[in-house]
């Protein structure tokens, strides 16, 4: 069997319905054609007895996360999608991507059977042989056993993406990783933002993992959209911004590009790409210079008054003065009163914010004084020059922001640079200085980050069992060197095989050519996927996975409802769920006793926890009621209690003894990382040695038609609306190169190139080029846009730095 990739051409909505055998029923049912039925007000029992309606969700990694919806079926075929009406009208709905899910489920790109690359053929040639599930499991496990015997358990590397991140059963594969003692490649997508949120504000479950929810935007007086374009990329969240504006809020957009969101704003501030962290420092400087800092908030809710020892940048504690045991509960951090007398924050209710002192012979200063010193490293003129934001605009922004409540909608664009974490660290520090935290309408948001509370910790206990083998992490940024340049004395794993699920690394990770080399060096690459993705194309074995509506599960995030994902239709072809595939592989590896749980056992166990019992939530109740509101009635506000889930219990712009997200061999500057700072991007910057050769910053943006590499190519409806990629280029850069809209152009650098059509637009900043994110290799005329990007990452967190990339552009022909 070969040539599994099929052409999308010629399949329209009508031919799709005809092909799935539901055209007559769909048309007859009062216009209930694909994705267009009138809304049933949350009552799935009101459907005609000729049809069945199933509660489920849209699962993808987008700003909606997992929008609840109902799917209508007749004679075992799904034919209609409609929004579930939630009790809170401010909750999200379903976007055009969600309504395209029927086509995705019935896509000709579905992987139908287990496939093995024909022996002797090249990876990516599309030469496959169909094998049975028994053959596939035996083939994979026999190779894994042999490799682990020779190279150790950790030589098998597993990697989970975010393709179905809210489907709780996909996490069951982690149990296989744990008991095999295999290596894990943690996610590198957008990790700088999450890392900073955890370190600065302690953002984590159970309520949110980014900041305040986007529903809290309606309480803001100022909404600053910073490095995001929610009207295109977060349509489910943008209505909260619209509602805020209806309530009188001012919308300010900070972005290198004049986006559709910027076009709707009250003010647009263009900024040089990659300089966001420096702008935040400039705003802090202006606020403090003008005496507008919120000193009460800084004293009560932040680490600002905490005393820091000058010699080692650690806090001064009672144990330093011989007043308690080191590490004991009584070993409190100390502050100073106006007379320079130290005490605990409980004892001194009005500590000083600034000053240096000598206490029992120990030189100390306040964390706030250290922040002022760090800010003094930059002048306003320097900041204006490097950010391309005039000083008076910086001052105006600072004045507007401090006149809150102000909320930042930032999303994850700032994340995509080697220096990306400085954007978030400094932005959070700005919030603390301005006192724009802990109150309704303040903080930061990226979308609906609510998490159903009744799930509890049991899923983790099952997927990361205590009797598992020690965990070994291999960073995305480490893989290439471990495969090709591994030192003989390295303690890191030898990587010989890779397994990917809910993940398309070839299509999504930067530096595609490097990943193709890694694939080629493996003894065995296995991809478990629903569709024949770009990564599946280059695998040795492809395992067919069920679509989300072909299995029963629970949606675990992105909505305050605990949601049953009911099985809508039977699995097509020979597809199996990730849960079942993990079970088969576990048994194939001789771990039968660890993989006896059924899917229903797992789902029932997930809800068998104290929190669920307190809420009266059980698996049986969820199966009966389908959706249970499992979240506080009032939208949680980050910091509203005055307690943050950080190491100090306070909001932290100063981090004591900071450490990288995952240990690596890269150098680490503790003092630099303790406080806000800024440095230029590694490559994508106008002041470096590469700029003369490659003067264009090459970036991507989110498309309303795709979520990473999902949706667009597996839905002909969306492909009709967005049929091919194109590169946006500024009027000035196009004129200099003789380029007009529609011309073929080549973007290239030392790593690779892509040939693509040009779109000349005045909304693109000179010195930048922009492409929609999510296209795969068959979409390009030649080359691949990801061949230009670099896997290089900073030493703070292993992160995907898509934007840190320079190129040159020329007209073809």
For residue range 640-671, what is the model confidence (pLDDT) as tens digits? 888 888 999 999 999 999 988 876 666 788 99
CA distances in angstroms from 284 to 173, 396, 647, 742, listed in the order given? 45, 12, 24, 44
Candidates 289, 555, 308; CA nearest to 448 is 555
Residue 798 structure tokens: 């292993």
CB 478, CB 495: distance < 8 Å: no
Q: What is the pLDDT of residues 156-177, one digit of tens each?
A: 999 998 777 678 899 999 999 9
pLDDT of residue 64: 61
User: Interior CA angle at 566 toward 560 and 569, to 5°?
Assistant: 145
CATH level 3 topology of 696-811 = Barwin-like endoglucanases (2.40.40)
pLDDT of residue 380: 98
User: Which residues, 6+ apart, have CB-to-CB distance to 564 below 8 Å?
Assistant: 55, 56, 552, 554, 622, 623, 626, 627
Residue 745 structure tokens: 């152009």
pLDDT of residue 39: 35
Rg (C-alpha) for the chain, rounded Å, is 27
Can you tell me whether residue 733 is helix, strand or coil? helix
d(CA 762, CA 810): 18
d(CA 578, CA 182): 17
Q: Which residues of 210-249 are buried (b: 16+ CB within 10 A; e: fewer)?
A: bbbbbbbbbbbbbbbbbbbbbbbbbbbbbbbbbebbeeeb
| CA dihedral sign, ordered 479, 483, 488, 493 | positive
User: Which residues, 6+ apart, have CB-to-CB distance to 45 below 8 Å?
Assistant: none
DSSP string of 466-530? TTSPPPEE--GGGHHHHHHS--TT--SPPP-EEEEES--HHHHSS-HHHHHHHHHH-SEEEEEES
d(CA 430, CA 310): 24
Phi, psi torsion values for 254, nearest 5 degrees: -110, 115
d(CA 520, CA 380): 51
Burial of 186 from C-beta contacts in 10 A (0-12 / 13-18 / 19+): middle
Can you tell me whether residue 2 is helix, strand or coil? strand
CB 112, CB 572: distance < 8 Å: yes
Report the chain (813 residues): mean pLDDT per 10 consecutive residues.
35 38 32 33 50 87 76 93 74 77 89 96 95 98 98 96 81 95 88 84 61 86 94 82 94 95 96 96 98 98 97 96 94 95 95 96 97 98 98 98 95 86 95 96 80 74 90 90 91 95 91 96 97 94 96 84 92 96 98 96 92 90 91 81 91 93 75 95 88 94 76 76 90 97 97 96 94 88 94 84 94 90
Q: Does domain 212-445 have CATH number 3.40.228.10?
A: yes
pLDDT of residue 585: 98
Can you tell me whether residue 394 is helix, strand or coil? helix
Domain ranges of the chain: 212-445, 696-811
Host H or E run for residue 614: helix 610-615
Q: Which residues pair with 768 in a beta bridge?
A: 697
pLDDT of residue 707: 73
DSSP string of 633-645? SSPP-TTTTS--S
Omega of the bond prior to 810 within 30 degrees of 0, cis?
no
Residue 799 structure tokens: 């992160």
pLDDT of residue 67: 82
Candidates 270, 249, 250, 248; CA nearest to 259 is 270
pLDDT of residue 813: 78
CB 638, CB 210: distance < 8 Å: no
């Amino acid at each position: 069997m070969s040539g599994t990739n099929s052409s999308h051409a010629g399949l329209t909505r009508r031919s799709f319905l005809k092909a799935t055998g539901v055209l007559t029923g769909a048309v007859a049912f009062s216009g209930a054609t694909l994705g267009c039925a009138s809304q049933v007000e949350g009552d799935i029992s009101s459907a005609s007895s000729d049809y069945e309606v199933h509660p489920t969700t849209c699962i993808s990694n987008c700003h909606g996360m997992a929008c609840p919806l109902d799917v209508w079926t007749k004679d075992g075929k799904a034919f209609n999608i409609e929004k579930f009406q939630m009790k809170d009208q401010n909750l999200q709905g379903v976007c055009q991507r969600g309504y395209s899910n029927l086509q995705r489920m019935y896509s000709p790109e579905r992987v139908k059977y287990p496939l093995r690359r024909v022996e002797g053929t090249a990876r990516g040639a599309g030469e496959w042989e169909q094998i049975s599930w028994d053959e596939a499991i035996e083939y994979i496990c026999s190779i894994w056993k042999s490799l682990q015997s020779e190279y150790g358990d950790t030589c098998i590397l597993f990697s989970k993406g975010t393709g179905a991140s809210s489907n709780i059963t996909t996490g069951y594969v982690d149990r296989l990783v744990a008991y095999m003692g295999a290596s894990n490649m943690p996610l590198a997508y957008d990790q700088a933002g999450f890392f900073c949120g955890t370190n600065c504000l302690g953002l984590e479950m159970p309520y949110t993992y980014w900041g305040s929810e986007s529903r809290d935007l309606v309480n803001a007086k100022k909404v600053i959209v910073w490095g995001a374009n929610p009207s295109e990329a977060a349509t489910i969240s943008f209505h909260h911004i619209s509602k805020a504006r209806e309530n009188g809020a001012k919308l300010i957009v900070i972005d290198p590009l004049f986006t559709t969101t910027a076009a709707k704003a009250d003010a647009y501030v263009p900024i040089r790409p990659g300089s966001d962290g420096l702008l935040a420092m400039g705003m802090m400087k202006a606020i403090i210079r003008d005496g507008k800092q919120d000193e009460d908030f800084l004293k009560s809710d932040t680490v600002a008054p905490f005393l820091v020892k000058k010699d080692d940048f650690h806090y001064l504690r009672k144990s330093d003065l011989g007043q308690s045991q080191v590490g004991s509960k009584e070993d409190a951090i100390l502050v100073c009163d106006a007379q320079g007398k130290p005490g605990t924050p409980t004892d001194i209710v009005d500590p000083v914010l600034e000053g240096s002192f000598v206490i029992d012979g120990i030189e100390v200063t306040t964390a706030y004084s250290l922040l002022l010193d760090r800010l003094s490293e930059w002048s306003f003129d320097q900041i204006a020059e490097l950010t391309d934001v005039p000083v008076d605009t910086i001052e105006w922004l600072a004045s507007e922001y401090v006149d809150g409540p102000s909320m930042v909608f930032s999303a994850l664009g700032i994340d995509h640079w080697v220096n990306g974490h400085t954007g978030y660290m400094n932005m959070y520090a700005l919030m603390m200085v301005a006192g724009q935290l802990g109150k309704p309408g303040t903080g930061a948001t990226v979308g609906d980050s609510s998490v159903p509370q009744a799930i509890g910790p049991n899923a983790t206990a099952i997927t990361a069992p205590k009797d598992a083998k020690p965990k070994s992490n291999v960073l995305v940024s480490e893989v290439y060197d471990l495969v090709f340049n591994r030192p003989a004395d390295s303690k890191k794993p030898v990587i010989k095989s890779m397994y990917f699920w809910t993940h398309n690394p070839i299509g999504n990770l930067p530096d595609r050519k490097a990943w193709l080399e890694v694939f080629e060096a493996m003894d065995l690459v296995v991809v478990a996927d629903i569709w024949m993705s770009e990564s599946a194309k280059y695998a040795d074995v492809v395992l067919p996975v069920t679509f989300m509506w072909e299995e029963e599960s629970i949606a675990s995030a992105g909505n305050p409802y605990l949601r049953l994902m009911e099985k809508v239709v039977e699995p097509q072809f020979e597809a199996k769920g990730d849960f079942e595939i993990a079970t088969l592989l576990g048994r194939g590896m001789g771990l039968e006793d660890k993989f006896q749980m059924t899917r229903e056992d797992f789902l029932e166990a997930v809800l068998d926890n104290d929190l669920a019992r307190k809420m009266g939530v059980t698996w049986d109740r969820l199966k009966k009621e389908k959706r249970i509101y499992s979240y506080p009635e009032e939208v949680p506000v980050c910091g509203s209690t005055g307690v943050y889930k950080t190491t100090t219990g306070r909001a932290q712009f100063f981090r004591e003894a900071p450490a990288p997200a995952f240990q690596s061999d890269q150098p680490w500057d503790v003092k630099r990382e303790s406080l806000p700072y800024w440095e230029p991007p590694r490559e994508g910057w106008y002041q470096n040695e590469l700029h003369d050769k490659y003067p264009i910053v090459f970036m991507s943006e989110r498309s309303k038609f795709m979520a990473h590499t999902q949706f667009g190519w597996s839905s002909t409806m969306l492909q009709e609306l967005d049929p091919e990629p194109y590169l946006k280029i500024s009027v000035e850069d196009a004129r200099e190169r003789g380029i007009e809209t529609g011309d073929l152009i080549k973007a290239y650098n030392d790593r690779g190139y892509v040939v693509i059509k040009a779109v000349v637009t005045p909304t693109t900043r000179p010195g930048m080029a922009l492409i929609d994110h999510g296209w795969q290799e068959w979409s390009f005329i030649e080359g691949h846009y990801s061949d230009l990007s670099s896997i290089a990452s900073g030493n703070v967190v292993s992160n995907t730095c898509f934007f840190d990339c320079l190129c040159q552009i020329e007209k073809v022909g």
